[in-house]
């Protein structure tokens, strides 16, 4: 059985990826920061691994994975504006520590680096984003992910390691932290329904379009890339469709039992925001045969339901 080691597996994507890789017949070793926890999955070994500590990566020689999927990192644009040093450290040094460690191994695992559509940045005109378009990263997070990608390919070439990198577009689903847009809307709706706040949703800039994909489709793309992606290649991972944020919010509000109005809160605007984001996914589809299967409406409904349950749990804990 082939073996995969995941870094940063205690985040939003990790638990979905653990299940996807396992269901795809992989032996999975999931790693996390010591302070985090992962719900146990039968047959999956869980280890502590901080990518900022090069000695933690010595475990790779012991585990001898066929592939490493690198999820570990700072994943929020907002957090990156508030914590630029940490973002640069974790996202850039993390990958160099990983590849320096793999360099010492006789059997070198293939590496899938998880990057971001934020790398395309502000310079893009309205239209579909393709992998060979110029990158113009416009925030600390995007710069750090661009450096991760470049470092990954540079060291892959230098050390003979098969490196594949993604530019992943917005992914959504139950379990995502409410600093991201869809969970933020869902939490507010759930709190309104529970009578915890007035029936007004506070929003940032709604006049943008984003490419949203169900996290379960995203992790299936990661498995397909692990199995069939071409080394040295960059792949967009997204649905290939852009949705206007205002329309997405209307869909969510229409799923609520309450009459809800919307108020723009300028403090929620980002210092720099891309107006229109849509993934071109021909390369991913051509090389792996992947296509998303989850409908946006279903994902939104499941995410909203998960927030209704979460808000109920929080209320029960308080009483």
Here's the x/- map for ligand A2R, 132-171, by CB under 6 A: it reads as ------------------------------------x---
Q: Does 68 bind ligand A2R (CB under 6 A)?
A: no
Q: Does 113 bind ligand A2R (CB under 6 A)?
A: no
- The Cα 241–Cα 114 span in angstroms is 20
Instruction: Name which position in 75, 124, 139, 278 contacts ligand A2R (CB under 6 A).
Output: 75
Report the candidate in 7, 247, 212 with the shortest Cα–Cα distance to residue 117: 212
Among the candidate windows 19-27, 48-56, 236-244, 273-281, which touches ligand A2R by CB under 6 A?
A: 48-56
Please spell the DSSP secondary structure of 236-283, one letter per residue: EES-S--EEHHHHHHHHHHTSSS--EEEE-GGGS-SS--SB--B--HH
Considering only residues 27 to 46 of the shown chain, the ones binding ligand A2R according to CB under 6 A are 33, 36
Among the candidate windows 8-16, 130-138, 154-162, 278-286, which touches ligand A2R by CB under 6 A?
A: 8-16
> Any residues with CB less than 8 A from the CB of 145 and at least 6 apart, and which?
73, 91, 115, 116, 118, 119, 137
Phi, psi of 71 (to 5 degrees): -95, -20
Structure tokens that stand for 236 in this block: 């967009």
Q: Tell me the residue nearest to ligand A2R as measured from the CB.
A: 11
The length of the chain, given as a count of residues? 319
Q: Which residues are registered as beta bridge partners of 214?
A: 172
Give least dist CB 116 to ligand A2R, A. 5
| CA distances from residue 275 to 244, 278, 294, 301 in whole angstroms, order as listed | 10, 10, 25, 25
- Contact present, 61 and 105 (Cβ < 8 Å): yes
Here's the x/- map for ligand A2R, 256-295, by CB under 6 A: it reads as ----------------------------------------
- Judged by beta carbon, residue 8 or residue 204, the one nearer ligand A2R is 8
Residue whose token pair is 């109920």: 312
Q: Does 184 bind ligand A2R (CB under 6 A)?
A: no
- Judged by beta carbon, residue 13 or residue 248, the one nearer ligand A2R is 13
Give least dist CB 299 to ligand A2R, A. 15
Site residues (CB under 6 A) for ligand A2R? 7-8, 10-14, 33, 36, 50-52, 71-73, 75, 90, 114, 116, 168
């Amino acid at each position: 059985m082939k073996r995969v080691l995941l870094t940063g597996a205690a985040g939003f994507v990790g638990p979905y990826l653990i299940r996807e890789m396992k269901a795809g017949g992989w032996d999975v070793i999931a790693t996390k920061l010591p302070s985090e926890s992962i719900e146990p999955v039968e047959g999956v070994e869980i280890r502590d691994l901080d990518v900022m500590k090069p000695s933690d990566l010595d475990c790779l020689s012991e585990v001898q994975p066929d592939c490493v999927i690198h999820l570990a990192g700072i994943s929020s644009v907002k957090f990156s504006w508030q914590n630029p040093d940490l973002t640069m450290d974790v996202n850039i040094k993390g990958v160099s520590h990983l590849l320096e460690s793999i360099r010492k191994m006789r059997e070198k695992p293939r590496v899938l680096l998880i990057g971001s559509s934020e790398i395309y940045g502000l310079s893009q005109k309205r239209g579909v984003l393709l992998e060979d378009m110029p990158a113009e990263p416009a925030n600390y997070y995007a710069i750090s992910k661009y450096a991760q990608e470049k470092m990954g390919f540079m060291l892959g070439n230098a050390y003979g390691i098969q490196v594949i990198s993604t530019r992943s577009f917005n992914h959504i689903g139950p379990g995502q932290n409410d600093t991201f847009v869809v969970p933020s809307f869902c939490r507010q709706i759930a709190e309104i329904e529970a009578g915890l706040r007035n029936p007004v949703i506070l929003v940032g800039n709604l006049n943008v379009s984003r490419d949203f994909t169900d996290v379960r489709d995203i992790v299936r793309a990661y498995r397909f890339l692990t199995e069939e992606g071409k080394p040295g290649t960059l792949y967009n991972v997204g649905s290939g469709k852009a949705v206007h944020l205002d329309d997405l919010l209307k869909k969510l509000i229409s799923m609520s039992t309450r009459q809800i109005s919307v108020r723009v809160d300028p403090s929620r605007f980002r210092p720099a925001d891309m107006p229109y984001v849509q993934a071109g996914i021909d390369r991913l589809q051509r090389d792996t045969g992947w296509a998303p299967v989850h409908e946006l409406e279903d994902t939104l409904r499941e995410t909203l339901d998960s927030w209704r349950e979460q808000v109920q749990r929080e209320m029960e804990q308080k009483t």
